[in-house]
Homo-oligomer: A and B are copies of this chain.
């Protein structure tokens, strides 16, 4: 598993968590593929995953883990107990290439990593900060032209798309855990087909949208008439600071809207705000108000407040996705994996947005892994 954004909270929690699981110092809470519904023989074991990655910052992994211990995201004593393994894991983290032919540089690092650790295949997981939506350009439609233009610096793409390109060039699969452009650039998607590798995305569904994906179908199935759905997401840490940027916020809000359109038919009126509250740190508080009509137009309301730790919700899903996408790669799946919509706010393809329908697609997909 190769992370773009390897020193961020999610990647650090994923690496530390997998070490703790391997050491028997943690239970796989939050890991969907650890449920009995998932046949373990079709999947790569968590213990067999090896991690590496790029980041633009160079704070040591042990330091990041320590910060997350202070923030209450990681448990103090177990983390102290795996200090050695963590130091070893840190040796596979590299500075992110930022100049020259970045795609080629990333791809070279991916190939070298795969060989060095003796992996059968590599899953690249994008965890870099959310980027604004990308205006389409003619150059985005031609795979060869795109690579050439990137190599000669005639064209610029955001990191999410650069990592996707590099993953495909190096024959790796790709997971976009963010709502950034990534594989949405047509030429990048074409590279995946050429490389005969699968990819999954977009935007990990960890909190408010997870709730929407069960509550909206509830209203639909009870034939209740949702009149408005409003909310405010308050988040601290780097994610909050980044989403204070209007462009990044636009990507995130568009991604969040999908679930209501996909389950209620229409997006009901209502504002969804995102607020940056540094004091919340790695936690996220989301409040939603749903107004709806019952029989004979009687007005009713539902409010909820979700108070979750994003890294702790995301990290086990990253492990799940690495296991599932690696298995799909092994089984020869190519291109988008719409069956993984369960994990995403804005799933690839035309699949369902209700969590239960996504669950059935996911378990059917998992049941087929490793089958002849």
- For residues 39 through 88 of chain A, which have their beta carbon under 8 Å from a beta carbon of chain B? 72-76, 78
List 22 A-B residue pairs with CB atoms under 8 Å apart, sorted by A's residue number.
A17-B296, A28-B223, A29-B293, A32-B222, A75-B296, A211-B218, A228-B234, A228-B279, A228-B280, A230-B275, A231-B232, A234-B270, A269-B278, A273-B273, A273-B275, A285-B289, A294-B309, A295-B312, A300-B307, A300-B312, A300-B313, A303-B305
Partner of A270, one of B74, B275, B296: B275
Give chain B residues whose Cβ lies under 8 Å from the Cβ of A148.
none
Q: A72-B72, A273-B275 are in contact. Are A29 and B297 (CB under 8 A)?
A: yes
- For residues 163 through 186 of chain A, which have their beta carbon under 8 Å from a beta carbon of chain B? none
Chain B proximity of A211: nearest CB distance (Å)? 7
A271 at the interface (CB under 8 A from B): yes
Q: How far is the CA of A12 from the CA of B187 in the complex (A)?
A: 61
5 further A-B contacts with Cβ under 8 Å, apart from A30-B224, A31-B223, A72-B298, are A29-B224, A74-B296, A75-B297, A303-B304, A356-B356
A20 at the interface (CB under 8 A from B): yes
- Binary flags per residue of A220-249, CB closer than 8 Å to B gives 1, else 0: 011111011011101000000000000000
Q: Are B222 and A218 in contact (CB under 8 A)?
A: no
Chain B proximity of A33: nearest CB distance (Å)? 9
Q: Are B280 and A232 in contact (CB under 8 A)?
A: no
Q: Are A13 and B296 in contact (CB under 8 A)?
A: yes
Give chain B residues whose Cβ lies under 8 Å from the Cβ of A312.
294-296, 298, 300
Partner of A232, one of B230, B279, B295, B299: B230
A189 at the interface (CB under 8 A from B): no
A200 at the interface (CB under 8 A from B): no
Give chain B residues whose Cβ lies under 8 Å from the Cβ of A230.
232, 234, 275, 277
Q: Are A277 and B287 in contact (CB under 8 A)?
A: no
Q: Are A295 and B275 in contact (CB under 8 A)?
A: no
- Binary flags per residue of A262-293, CB closer than 8 Å to B gives 1, else 0: 00000001110101111110000101010101
A302 at the interface (CB under 8 A from B): yes
A interface with B by C-beta (< 8 Å) = 13, 16-17, 20, 26, 28-32, 34-35, 72-76, 78, 210-211, 214-215, 217-218, 221-225, 227-228, 230-232, 234, 269-271, 273, 275-280, 285, 287, 289, 291, 293-309, 312-313, 315-316, 342, 354-357, 359
Closest to A306 in B: B302
Closest to A240 in B: B271
Q: Which of A221, A342, A355 has the most CB of B within 10 A?
A: A221
Q: How far is the CA of A57 from the CA of B305 in the complex (A)?
A: 39
Q: How far is the CA of A278 from the CA of B231 in the complex (A)?
A: 15
Chain B proximity of A271: nearest CB distance (Å)? 3
Give chain B residues whose Cβ lies under 8 Å from the Cβ of A299.
279
Q: How far is the CA of A78 from the CA of B214 in the complex (A)?
A: 34
